[in-house]
Amino acid sequence: MVDASVAQRLVDEMISNLPRHDPRQRPVHTIGVGVDAYFTASDVAHKYCIAEHFSGQRICAKVRFSNASGGPEQHDGWSDVRGMATRFLLPSGAATDLIATTLREFFARNVEDFLEFTKLDKHESYQRESPWRKILDMLQLKVPRRDPYPGEKTNASAGILSYANRHRFAQLGVFEFKMIGAPVSYARAAYHAIHTFIVEGEDGVRRPVRFSWQPAAGVRNTNSDALPDDNYLRQELDDRLRRWPARFMLMMTIGEAGDAIDDPTRPWPARRVRVVMGTLTLTSVPKDQAAAGEHISFNPWRLVPGIEPSGDPILHARRDAYEVSREMRGGIACPFFNRS
């Protein structure tokens, strides 16, 4: 387990990178929207995982979608990773969380990598390149630098790229991060829980698995040539859910011998068995956003019997970092979460 001072340091380092930070808000994934939802497990889910939310009953859920960047600015139209944190409110009175992002692989294998990344993730002033510079880049077979987004005055690209240049393990995650774009809707992106968890089936067999959410409406990004407004994702979701519920399928990929269990930077081969574990139905964007999302503190360690964490050092580091962050921003402690 990561010691408490490391958890504090992780959060402090993240905050030190932010040009503006409101201590009452999350240091990252600051801007988000809470949504009411329910989850129904598939017929086969319980066979693979005995956890209560896979028993087949309808389970109430709270979902918070977010932009990954820290700070109080919205910037929905900017290229950024998006988050989807889900709390399943179980009939027994317990709760369990599943936290996912649009990134498939992470860029750090452990706390040391993450701290190194955070040191380099510093913002520098970012200006539009002249057309001549772009032509020169193309003549030298270099990809010209993209133009700043409306309102973008600083950017952390240089530091992040130097981190990726130094570490091969980080290149997939950083490449995905740089290419990710902006979704037309929070309901039109796929989200991945990244880490491996160990689930227990009805037959007592324990399997390493990775979870992801696939949107029933399909994945669609905005057109980067016609950037939308900087503040559209919450309104779009509200409008969408007033017309019709939106759905996500929960997919569980089963790992095989030799697959990376404790390393979130390494993908698994594409031909692994994937099981549909259930459907999440988003129903409405409640007016009281404090209760629907802002006051909730999600944690990837809020698990129930049938699902256990793997040995992934990043997953272990997140356990206390999220609690430290919750305490710092005055979030409500979860009665189902035991830190001991």
Residue 39, Cβ neighbours under 10 Å: how many? 23
Q: Which two tokens stand for residue 242?
A: 């007033």
3-state secondary structure 20-75: CCCCCCCCCCCCEEEEEEEEEECCCHHHHCCCHHHCCCEEEEEEEEEECCCCCCCC
Beta carbon nearer to ligand HEM, 41 or 98: 98
Place of tokens 């979608």: 65
Minimal CA–CA distance to 167: which of 208, 120, 211, 133? 120
Taking the complex as a whole, the smallest distance from the CB of residue 33 to ligand HEM amounts, in Å, to 10
Beta carbon nearer to ligand HEM, 46 or 329: 329
Which residues of the chain form contacts with ligand HEM (CB under 6 A)?
10-11, 26-29, 32, 64, 66, 83, 85, 99-101, 106, 114, 193-194, 264, 297-298, 314, 317-318, 321-322, 325-326, 329, 331
Backbone angles phi, psi at 159, to 5 degrees: -65, -40
Beta carbon nearer to ligand HEM, 126 or 301: 301
Taking the complex as a whole, the smallest distance from the CB of residue 30 to ligand HEM amounts, in Å, to 9
Beta carbon nearer to ligand HEM, 75 or 326: 326
Beta carbon nearer to ligand HEM, 2 or 45: 2
Beta carbon nearer to ligand HEM, 29 or 75: 29
Taking the complex as a whole, the smallest distance from the CB of residue 110 to ligand HEM amounts, in Å, to 8
Taking the complex as a whole, the smallest distance from the CB of residue 290 to ligand HEM amounts, in Å, to 13
Taking the complex as a whole, the smallest distance from the CB of residue 211 to ligand HEM amounts, in Å, to 10
Cβ-closest position to ligand HEM: 83
Taking the complex as a whole, the smallest distance from the CB of residue 208 to ligand HEM amounts, in Å, to 16
Place of tokens 């209760």: 291
Taking the complex as a whole, the smallest distance from the CB of residue 106 to ligand HEM amounts, in Å, to 5
Beta carbon nearer to ligand HEM, 99 or 250: 99
- Please name the amino acid found at residue 90: L
Is the Cα dihedral 220, 38, 315, 77 positive or negative? positive
Burial of 252 from C-beta contacts in 10 A (0-12 / 13-18 / 19+): buried
Cα gap 228→162, rounded to integer Å: 30
**What is the DSSP-derived secondary structure letter of residue 161?**
H
169 — alpha (psi -120 to 50), left (phi > 0) or beta?
alpha
